[in-house]
Structure 1
Amino acid sequence: MSIVIPAHDEERVLGRLLRGLLESARPGELDIVVVPNGCADATADVAASFGAAVRVVETPEASKAAALRLGDAAARRFPRLYVDADVELRTRDVRALAAALEHPGTLAAAPARRLAMTGRPWPVRAYYAVWTRLPEIRRGLFGRGVIAVGTEGHARLAALPRVTADDLAASLAFAPAERAVVGTAEVVVHPPRTFGDLLRRRQRAAAGTDQLEAAGLDQPGGSARTGTADLAAIARREPWLLPHLAVFLAVAVIARRRAARAGSAAGWQRDESSRG
């Protein structure tokens, strides 16, 4: 299997990911390509410290899209995984994703998501209590920082244009029957540690969703928008979540307004707090 990891100033978290990936890997089992892009820190040095187990392909251009293309060109094998540098994934999870792609008709796969919520303030926990209950969040491949494809799925991804919400675009590129969330694989995702960073992250997500819809990329895999019917169903099923729903709606409204005002000048809006 090949694993492509785009990494922009990720020296604080990259080693954590690489240690997990190599935890029980057999010699030569994983072809790991790290692409430090536009880094002003020691990301490349961290990757190189793992020796022959990790290949480093560096570029001065700070662009995830460009890094993914470079990593793709350097990768040697299928199945192929694209993994964000700030998540945690282990050898056994990689194997489970590769096994899922062997099922006929499965073109793309992602692991089950576990959020590391320790130390997060109540508004952040409240937001994610609702977010993780949304049907599209449960069944989509996005918001996990990991997507695995075989040769046919790879061709589908290669045809996508450059967009900010690359993981969402990748998920929506596949019909529900073509993608799988693999329960025997798990990725640990680190949410924002502050409410302000949550807003920044959601602003970027809102801008990315607008971009996808403008480009007509919200099919065939469904819509990325949260429907009022989904929120109403949560309220009926679990009325104790009403205060959490209020936080969720407030974050959604503020993020969309900020994204609309910022337009193309929104920038990366990366959450730095989760990398602390």
Structure 2
Amino acid sequence: MVSVVIPAHNEAKVIGRLLDGLLAEAAPGEFDVVVVANGCTDDTAEVARPYDVRVLTTPVPSKSAALRMGDEAARGYPRLYVDADVELSTAAVRALATALAAPDGPLAAAPERALTLDDRPWPVRAYYAIWTRLPHVRSGLFARGVIAVTDAGNERIRALPPAMADDLAASLAFAPDERVIVTAVHAVIHPPRTLADLLRRRIRAQTSVTELERTTTSAGERTGLRDLVAIVAREPRLAGAAAVFAAMAVLARRRAARAIRTGDYTTWLRDESSRN
């Protein structure tokens, strides 16, 4: 049985959207879905309960604690960890499970990303035009909203210390030949609707990457000027987008400096615009 763990903090607006797609074509009992409503002040748990899922609640508003709670309650493998604000189909869950079925196969898998950008302002679209072309973004398991693991893969990530960038930490826990991106299916990602909310996300990303750099031996690749030059060299039309990306990166680094200086790796700068 495939288990799906969904940490959900104040996700009443979107949890139904995820569960509708995830369970749309699932046979009764095919998936073991555990929704962990953590520290909610809205009706996330009430929205989720009518579905064929188990709903756990905790007053602690912590994603890492919710993941641990859901992990303890989950019954099967492969096991998926899914963010409540993405969209994932029944077919995608099955494809990820199949990718991990071989005894000598990968330990972790994730779907391709499908970003909803058509109605976003130009600077947001420009930022993601560059971000989605970065080599480490294309190959990493992070920022997809979904990570699937085998039993052995689960042991690997359970040994990791709690971190704000839990998906990046999980991605880095596996060598390239131990993980796979299943390009035949995708998770729908909803980017910010405003530049201010994009900046909030980037500040959080900058802070969380720094936390990993200070607490682990590896925090992955940092985007540098060489990466932007290489992208523009291949696609000169993206020169303006590269300028937007660079400006956002510099601004986020400056805004994150205070949190990094004080060691604040718990304040979660949440983008609400993408949930509307």
TM-score, normalised to structure 2, is 0.96
Distance in 2 (alpha carbons) for counterparts of 1:265 and 1:175:
29
Query: Is the CA contact 1:105–1:177 (under 8 Å) kept in the aligned structure 2?
Result: no
Q: Superposed, which structure 2 residues align to 1:44-193 within 5 Å? A: 44-50=45-51, 53-103=52-102, 104-193=104-193
Aligned to 2:8: 7
Distance in 2 (alpha carbons) for counterparts of 1:144 and 1:217:
23
Root-mean-square deviation (Å): 1.1
Query: Is the CA contact 1:110–1:141 (under 8 Å) kept in the aligned structure 2?
Result: yes
**After alignment, is 206-215 or 265-274 more displaced?**
265-274
Distance in 2 (alpha carbons) for counterparts of 1:85 and 1:37:
12
Name the amino acid aligned to 1:129: A
SS of structure 1 residue aligned to 2:58: coil
Give unmatched runs, 5+ long, in structure 2.
none
Give how far 1:180 is off.
0.4
SS of structure 2 residue aligned to 1:57: strand
SS of structure 2 residue aligned to 1:244: helix
Aligned to 1:259: 256
Aligned to 2:19: 18
Name the amino acid aligned to 1:143: A
Q: What is the number of residues matched between the two proteins?
A: 271
Percent of matched pairs sharing the same residue:
62
Query: Is the CA contact 1:169–1:217 (under 8 Å) kept in the aligned structure 2?
Result: no
Name the amino acid aligned to 1:140: G
Name the amino acid aligned to 1:41: D
Give unmatched runs, 5+ long, in structure 1.
none
What is the CA deviation profile of residues 129-165 of structure 1, one whole-angstrom value per residue up to 9, with x for unaligned ones?
A: 0000000010000010000000110000000000000
Q: Superposed, which structure 2 residues align to 1:219-258 within 5 Å? A: 223-258=220-255
Give how far 1:256 is off.
1.0
> Are residues 217 and 274 of structure 1, via their aligned partners in 2, closer, same or farther at CA, if it must alter by over 3 Å?
farther
Give how far 1:217 is off.
4.4
Aligned to 1:31: 32
Distance in 2 (alpha carbons) for counterparts of 1:95 and 1:214:
37
Name the amino acid aligned to 2:251: I
Distance in 2 (alpha carbons) for counterparts of 1:172 and 1:32:
26
Distance in 1 (alpha carbons) for counterparts of 2:26 and 2:133:
34
Q: Superposed, which structure 2 residues align to 1:184-203 within 5 Å? A: 184-203=184-203
Give how far 1:228 is off.
2.6
SS of structure 2 residue aligned to 1:120: coil
TM-score, normalised to structure 1, is 0.96
Distance in 2 (alpha carbons) for counterparts of 1:145 and 1:247:
24
SS of structure 2 residue aligned to 1:192: coil
Give how far 1:215 is off.
1.2
Query: Is the CA contact 1:172–1:217 (under 8 Å) kept in the aligned structure 2?
Result: no
Give how far 1:238 is off.
0.6
SS of structure 2 residue aligned to 1:106: coil
